[in-house]
Structure 1
Amino acid sequence: MLPSLDYALPEQDLAPKGAPGSALGKTTGVIMYTFAIWMAVRNGTFRALEAHMVTPLAGYVTGHHAASSHKSVIFFALNTPKAFGLQITSECTSALLLIPLLVMMGSIAIFTRFPVPRVLAGLVVGATLMLAVNVFRIIGIAWATWQYGLDPGYRYSHVFVGSACSLVGFVGSIMAALWVLVWRDRKSSSSGLAAAPSGVGAGPAPAHRAADGDRPRVQVSRRAGARHRR
């Protein structure tokens, strides 16, 4: 018989708290779904907050000139001949990236056994990265427009560089959120595998010794059979 593998596979508690469909998980997931719906239907308020958050940094990259925001429009380089404004539309807001993240993490909270605090931590990390990436994208568009004008500055920075930045940021944010979700389990698994050799002698060693002890008898029997044939 094969030896037991219990010594090689570390024991993991993948569900330390709660269970699928627990009240806390359902409540957390429903709240995340609600925020996702709100962002999809009424994202004007969110876009205004986003524009207000970007305004100070945008003024810094456009020659340290004054910048201001009105609703979802950011005005750069005020009181200069290069003054212009950028509007954060429904297609350019980070809400488009946050909605899938909210739906994904809400589903994990409802239908899996991951602890709710860890789900919330993953959501915070992923959402923060998505917001940071979108702020960086808008600042890059503002700087390119300030330096090179609408064409080619705005056109290339918005259509090509901005789209690539959003895609990379979305993928990286999702991966970071999932990493936060499972990193403790991976850490416990690695530590368990590293500690496994110390307990090898307890279980499988007798089986290996028994197998080693059987081999001489098999060899003797073969030699006996060979002498008998002679």
Structure 2
Amino acid sequence: MSRPTVLAWGQAVAGALCGVAVGVALFRRWHDVAVAEAWLNARLVSFTGLADTSSVGAAVIFPLDERWVGFLVSTGCSVAMLLIPPFVLAALLVGFRRVTFPRAAVAVALAVVLLVVVNQVRLAAVVAAMRMWGFEVGYQRSHVLIGSAISTIGLILVAILFLLLVGRAGRPRRISGAH
């Protein structure tokens, strides 16, 4: 292999390793992300006046029918696992020099913010449904049906936006009349 080819593969491997390192860190620290999400959701829901919520660890709790109820932001409910693909993909694209680092950083930052927002809306919908339909019925309707719809639509939109951002390569344009 020529020196430029070895350098290109070295950059690709370095990019992949960086993306995988961030992915592993998110995977290993998902509970810390879930605790931050519960804290953020409790503040969001209280701020909107939907319920007087608090967070305890990775749980969001609030009074309902003269008792405290809530939900736990578990592995499946946390945004942590959804954050891994944008980091890994962006690192690979930068490593293979398909995307510049600034473009990848913007795409990842936007994906992270939007995924967190989508998940916060989903968690707030759980609180709203539990207040509207009661603990058991509200949780089941919002977690299974409403929450899944919010997550699916949000994830698809974020993925499309991410791909549009990293797919817009800054390639030189052809000069008209050039062959």
TM range (shorter): 0.7 to 0.9
Deviation, 1:121, is 0.9
| Structure 2: segments with no counterpart, 5+ residues | 1-6
- Give the equivalent residue in structure 1 for 2:105: 120
Deviation, 1:29, is 4.3
Which among 66, 69, 76 is matched to residue 84 of structure 1? 69
Is the CA contact (8 Å cut-off) linking 1:59 and 1:76 kept in structure 2? no
Q: Look up the equivalent residue of 1:163 and give its one-letter code.
A: S
Q: Look up the equivalent residue of 1:49 and give its one-letter code.
A: A
How do 1:40-119 residues align onto structure 2 when only pairs under 5 Å count?
Answer: 40-61=27-48, 63-65=50-52, 67-77=53-63, 81=66, 83-119=68-104
Divergent runs of 4+, >6 A: none
| Structure 1: segments with no counterpart, 5+ residues | 1-18, 205-230
Query: Would the alpha carbon gap of residues 101 and 29 (structure 1) be closer, same or farther in structure 2, given more than 3 Å must change?
Result: same
CA RMSD of aligned residues (A): 2.7
Q: Distance in 1 between matches of 2:63 and 2:135?
A: 14
- Give the equivalent residue in structure 2 for 1:213: none
Higher relative contact order (CA 8 A, sep 6+): 1
- Give the equivalent residue in structure 1 for 2:115: 130
Task: Work out the percentage of aligned pairs sharing the same amino acid.
Answer: 22
Q: Distance in 2 between matches of 1:169 and 1:143?
A: 19
Which among 134, 152, 157 is matched to residue 142 of structure 2? 157
Deviation, 1:111, is 2.2
How do 1:170-189 residues align onto structure 2 when only pairs under 5 Å count?
Answer: 170-183=155-168, 185=170
Q: Look up the equivalent residue of 2:32 and give its one-letter code.
A: T
Q: Distance in 1 between matches of 2:66 and 2:49?
A: 12
* TM, length-normalised to structure 2: 0.82
1:36 maps onto 2:36 in alignment: no
Q: Distance in 1 between matches of 2:29 and 2:100?
A: 30
- Give the equivalent residue in structure 1 for 2:133: 148
